[in-house]
């Protein structure tokens, strides 16, 4: 058996997220179908983490084990032939037998794209949040920096992530930068891990800052569990891209 | 009644072309629905020409007549609120009462995009023809120039455009340029009018040149009706954009 590590780009628009679900198109499901077809038996594909329905990836990392003797350099082409065009394998290489894309990940980088112009191009409509309303971008840039460091992100976890799971909600954010690029506001965040919906909740909270409903000080309070401040709403999936996973 | 001229961008992927058809999503149908909703009665929307199913537009021009007193500057926003996000009105302005976007058009410009890299980005898959095979691009660039001038384009018309219609198939091509941009081959053509499928047939023929199956001299022969040379196949719709209509 060889352990194969692949880097995968996908347009998440038409998928019900990464995680396999019966009778629904998912990224993991499509990859498992393709790998299983090559291997001639069901094969599990592990990812670096789940992405929500509608979230995109420029470079998700996944891995699987196969016995098929197909040369590793040919695997990329073979998989792309079997996958829908919305999912593309960018590279395939042999990895250590115990390589696990989630457990071994040291950091992940996400980017969220907001288009602020009046009319959103039809060709970008599924890849940005269109927000043609006033925003105090200086305040967003200031607020984004507040997330840096090790914090308890309970206030930014999806409400269905129960505390009973007992899993720590402490994460370390290595970099967190909002920037303005012409008609766009782009937020990029790199951390050692992210809770369910966390990036979209960070963005929703930054937008509340930009609208004047929250201050950077409110954000500091949000990073202390039980503070009583409410985070912003979950920003739509379509503006979010998983851009890099580091090992 | 005011005559309103609009410029419209659309992602043609999910539409059955420009022309209205019963029970099928079309660009003209969507625009007529939106304008009729504002006007409170059925309104016809005229376009500069039909685009095929799957063909995109960066700046299609259309026109309609309304009695509704809504200020012209507000029409763009009102229409965009009613239209699906895949269709966007970029501008709306008052035009001469007899303005007709097709009859008064002096030229149209189309662009066709071919991606030649090994793996086509999931985010571009609906906007390019993916052709990761060898092509003699110098020969394509040479052949593209042959279309310039006034010619009978019968060989490049859709086969269902019958001669019995008696309409002239002579068109004048003002500019016709293929160029290489990194991994892309881009063909741009500007003319006084185009027959059904004509641009896609020009592209299919240029691809045959690039593959070595046709020569620039064959193209010269194709411009003489009854020459016996067969044009290339119709290139897929998704690589084609209507980029400008001039008046």
User: Across the strands, what pairs with B189?
Assistant: B110, B176
The confidence score (pLDDT) of residue A161 equals: 63
Instruction: Spot the catalytic one: B23, B52, B138, B163.
Output: B52
The confidence score (pLDDT) of residue B163 equals: 58
A14 and A115, same domain (yes or no): no
Residues of B in contact with A125 (CB under 8 A): 11, 85-86
Active site residues of A: 52
Alpha carbon of B189: minimum distance to chain A alpha carbons (Å): 22
The confidence score (pLDDT) of residue B7 equals: 98
CB contact under 8 A, B11 and A123: yes
Of B164, B152, B173, B9, give the one whose Cα is nearest residue B79. B9
Interstrand relation of A56-66 and A129-130 (parallel, antiparallel or unpaired): unpaired
What does the block give as tokens for B233?
């196949």
Nearest CA in chain B to A123: B11
Confidence band of B26 (pLDDT split at 50, 70, 90) = very high
How far is CA A222 from each of CA A135, A146, A230, B175, B225, rounded to the nearest angstrom? 21, 10, 7, 60, 75
A216 and A240, same domain (yes or no): yes
A233 and A156, same domain (yes or no): yes
Region A57-73 average pLDDT: 96
Alpha carbon of B62: minimum distance to chain A alpha carbons (Å): 17
Q: Is residue A215 part of a domain?
A: yes
Q: Is residue A197 part of a domain?
A: yes
Question: Range of B136's domain?
Answer: 107-246
Helix (H, G, I), strand (E, B) or coil at B64: strand
Residues of A in contact with B125 (CB under 8 A): 11, 85-86
Residues B138-154 pLDDT 10s: 999 999 999 999 999 99
Residues A191-244 pLDDT 10s: 999 999 999 999 999 999 999 999 989 999 999 987 777 889 999 999 999 999
The confidence score (pLDDT) of residue A181 equals: 96
A45 and A144, same domain (yes or no): no
Region A8-32 average pLDDT: 97
Helix (H, G, I), strand (E, B) or coil at B175: strand
The confidence score (pLDDT) of residue A225 equals: 81
Query: Quick one: which H or E segment has residue B88?
Result: strand B87-95
Q: Is residue A227 part of a domain?
A: yes
Residues of A in contact with B119 (CB under 8 A): 76, 80, 88-90
Please say which residue of A95, A121, A155 terminates a domain: A95
Name the average pLDDT for chain B.
Answer: 95
B86 and B111, same domain (yes or no): no
Q: Is residue A71 part of a domain?
A: yes
The confidence score (pLDDT) of residue A26 equals: 98
Decide if A27 contacts A59 (C-beta within 8 A). no
The confidence score (pLDDT) of residue B45 equals: 98
Q: How many CB atoms lie within 10 A of CB B56?
A: 26
With 70 as the cut, is the pLDDT of residue B164 above it?
Answer: no
How far is CA B23 from each of CA B30, B49, B52, B54, B115, rounded to the nearest angstrom? 11, 21, 17, 17, 34
B117 and B187, same domain (yes or no): yes
Alpha carbon of B220: minimum distance to chain A alpha carbons (Å): 36
Residues B90-133 pLDDT 10s: 999 999 999 999 999 999 999 999 999 999 999 999 999 999 99
Q: Is B218 a catalytic residue?
A: no
Decide if B191 contacts B172 (C-beta within 8 A). yes
Residue ranges of the alpha helices (H) in chain B? 27-39, 72-82, 137-145, 198-210, 216-222
Please say which residue of A43, A66, A95 terminates a domain: A95
Decide if A208 contacts A232 (C-beta within 8 A). yes
- Rounded CA-CA distance A44/A33 in Å is 9
Residue B216: burial class (beta carbons within 10 Å; 0-12, 13-18, 19+) = middle
Query: Quick one: which H or E segment has residue B67?
Result: none
For the domain that residue B89 is a member of, what is the CATH number?
A: 3.30.70.580
For the domain that residue B216 is a member of, what is the CATH number?
A: 3.30.70.660
Q: Is residue B173 part of a domain?
A: yes
B50 and B80, same domain (yes or no): yes
B90 and B195, same domain (yes or no): no
B157 and B237, same domain (yes or no): yes
CB contact under 8 A, B122 and A86: yes
Q: What is the DSSP code string of chain A?
A: -EEEEEEEEE-GGGSS-SS-BTTB--HHHHHHHHHHHHHTS----EESS---TT-EEEEEEEEEEE-----HHHHHHHHHHHS-TTEEEEEEEEE-TT--TTTT--EEEEEEEEE-SSS--TTTTTTSEE--S---HHHHHHHHHTT-EEEE-GGGS-TTS-GGG----EEEEEEEEEEEETTEEEEEEEES---TTHHHHHHHHHHHHHTTSS-HHHHHHHTSTT--PPPPPPPPGGGEEEEEEE-
A165 and A199, same domain (yes or no): yes
DSSP one-letter code for B232: P
Please say which residue of B95, B120, B150 terminates a domain: B95
Q: What percent of chain B lies above the pLDDT cut of 90?
A: 91
- Rounded CA-CA distance B5/A78 in Å is 50
Number of domains in chain B: 2
CB contact under 8 A, A86 and B10: no
CB contact under 8 A, B88 and A11: no
- Rounded CA-CA distance B197/B159 in Å is 9
The confidence score (pLDDT) of residue A164 equals: 54
B158 and B83, same domain (yes or no): no
A88 and A113, same domain (yes or no): no
Q: Is residue B102 part of a domain?
A: no
Q: Is residue A112 part of a domain?
A: yes
Q: Is residue A182 part of a domain?
A: yes
């Amino acid at each position: 058996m060889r352990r194969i590590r692949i880097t995968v780009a996908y347009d998440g628009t038409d998928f019900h997220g990464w995680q396999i679900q019966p009778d629904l198109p998912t990224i993991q499901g499509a990859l498992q179908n393709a790998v299983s077809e090559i291997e001639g038996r069901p094969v599990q594909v592990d990812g670096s983490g789940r992405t929500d329905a509608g979230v995109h990836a420029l470079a998700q990392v996944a891995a699987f084990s196969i016995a098929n003797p197909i040369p590793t350099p040919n695997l990329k082409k073979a998989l792309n032939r079997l996958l829908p065009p919305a999912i593309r394998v960018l590279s395939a290489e042999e990895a250590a037998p115990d390589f696990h894309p989630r457990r071994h990940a040291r950091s992940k980088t996400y980017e969220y794209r907001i288009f602020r112009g009046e009319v959103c191009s039809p060709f970008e409509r599924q890849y940005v949040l269109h927000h043609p309303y006033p925003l105090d971008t200086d305040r967003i840039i200031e607020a984004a920096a507040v997330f840096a460091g090790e914090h308890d992100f309970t206030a930014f976890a999806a409400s269905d992530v129960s505390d009973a799971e007992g899993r720590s909600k402490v994460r370390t954010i290595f970099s967190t930068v909002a920037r303005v690029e012409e008609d766009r506001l782009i937020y990029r965040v790199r951390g050692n891990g992210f809770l369910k919906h966390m990036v979209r909740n960070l963005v929703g909270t930054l937008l509340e800052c930009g609208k004047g409903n929250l201050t950077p000080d409110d954000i500091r309070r949000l990073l202390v569990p039980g503070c009583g401040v409410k985070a912003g709403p979950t920003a739509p999936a379509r503006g979010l891209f998983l851009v890099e996973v580091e090992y």
